[in-house]
Amino acid sequence: MKLEDIYHFFEHQPTRFINSEVAVCYVLHSLLQKDCYGAELIQRLGEQHPVLAVSETVLHQAIRFLEREGWIVRYPQSLDGCGRPRQMFRLLPEACTKAQELAQLWEQFVTYQ
Instruction: Look up the CATH number of the domain holding residue 39.
Output: 1.10.10.10
Predicted confidence (pLDDT) per residue in 10-66, tens digit: 888 889 999 999 999 999 999 999 999 999 999 999 999 999 999 999 999 999 999
Higher pLDDT, 12 or 102: 102
What 3-state class would DSSP assign to 16?
A: strand
7 in any annotated domain? no
**DSSP conformational letter for 85:** P
Listed residue (63, 65, 57, 8) closest to 37, CA to CA:
63
Closest to 99 (Cα-Cα) out of 76, 56, 70, 60: 70
Confidence of residue 78 (pLDDT cuts 50, 70, 90): confident
Answer whether residue 1 is part of any domain.
Answer: no
> How many domains is the chain built from?
1
Q: What's the N-to-C CA distance of the chain in angstroms?
A: 23
67 in any annotated domain? yes
Examine residue 8 and state whether it is found in any structural domain, yes or no: no
CA gap 98, 104 in Å, rounded:
10
Would you state the pLDDT for residue 79? 75
Q: Whole domain around residue 75: which residue ranges?
A: 13-111
pLDDT bin (cut points 50, 70, 90) of residue 82 is confident
pLDDT at 69: 98
